[in-house]
């Protein structure tokens, strides 16, 4: 009796993986459901442009880093944790594209000035973003316009 049950459950498992999702054309692999097993993970993508906060000109020489941003309370004090993930350099037009995957989708983009002498000093800036489901089933954000504040030589923010 146990052998019959195990055989039926095994066949049922294969039937669920290869079952049609209501479409008639099963030759196209897009019509088949994906098996759901293993640890959950998310594919993410953040795309946008980095501009100067004052004149909105593209900022180059910057690294864009996806990050997980957490806030929590400990001993009555508000704490912040930032876990950096994937990174990409910003091109000469200020454009960036960060791609990656993991167990959690990043919810922030950290901008770091790499060449503080070429196009001026910029303050490293953290932007909190709200990831959404994109067309290709990745999570993230597209069309971001992220601003950086110019900093003078004595490391004070210009007004």
The torsion angle over the Cα atoms of residues 54, 57, 60 and 65, rounded to 10 degrees, is 60
For the cut 70, the answer to whether the pLDDT of residue 62 exceeds it is yes
Q: Mean per-residue pLDDT for 58-70?
A: 91
Neighbours of 140 (CB within 10 A): 24
**Cβ atoms of residues 107 and 12 within 8 Å:** no
pLDDT of res. 39: 73
Q: Which residue is it, tokens 């669920």?
A: 16
**What does the pLDDT look like over 86-133, one tens digit per residue?**
999 999 899 999 999 888 888 999 999 887 666 678 888 999 999 998
pLDDT of res. 122: 86
For the cut 70, the answer to whether the pLDDT of residue 54 exceeds it is yes
**Which of 24-33, 62-71, 143-152 has the lowest average pLDDT?**
24-33
**Cβ atoms of residues 88 and 44 within 8 Å:** no
Q: Which range scores top for mean pLDDT: 2-6, 49-53, 135-139?
A: 49-53
pTM here? 0.67
When comparing pLDDT for 23 and 134, which is higher? 134
Q: Tell me the pLDDT band of 138, cut-offs 50, 70 and 90.
A: confident
**What does the pLDDT look like over 2-36, one tens digit per residue?**
677 677 666 665 554 444 444 444 454 455 455 56
pLDDT of res. 150: 84
pLDDT of res. 23: 46
């Amino acid at each position: 009796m146990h052998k019959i049950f195990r055989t039926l459950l095994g066949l049922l498992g294969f039937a669920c993986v290869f079952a049609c999702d209501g479409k008639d054309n099963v030759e196209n692999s897009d019509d088949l459901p994906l098996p759901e097993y293993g640890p959950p993970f998310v594919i993410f993508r953040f795309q946008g442009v980095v501009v100067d906060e004052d004149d909105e000109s593209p900022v180059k020489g910057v690294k864009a880093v996806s990050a997980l941003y957490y806030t929590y309370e400990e001993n009555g004090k508000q704490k912040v944790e930032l876990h950096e993930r994937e990174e990409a350099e910003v091109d000469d037009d200020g454009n960036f594209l960060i791609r990656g995957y993991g167990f959690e989708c990043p919810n922030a983009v950290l901008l770091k000035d790499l060449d503080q002498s070429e196009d001026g000093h910029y303050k490293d800036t953290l932007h909190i973003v709200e990831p959404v489901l994109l067309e290709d089933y990745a999570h993230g954000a597209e069309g971001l316009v992220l601003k950086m504040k110019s900093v003078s030589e004595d490391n004070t923010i210009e007004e």
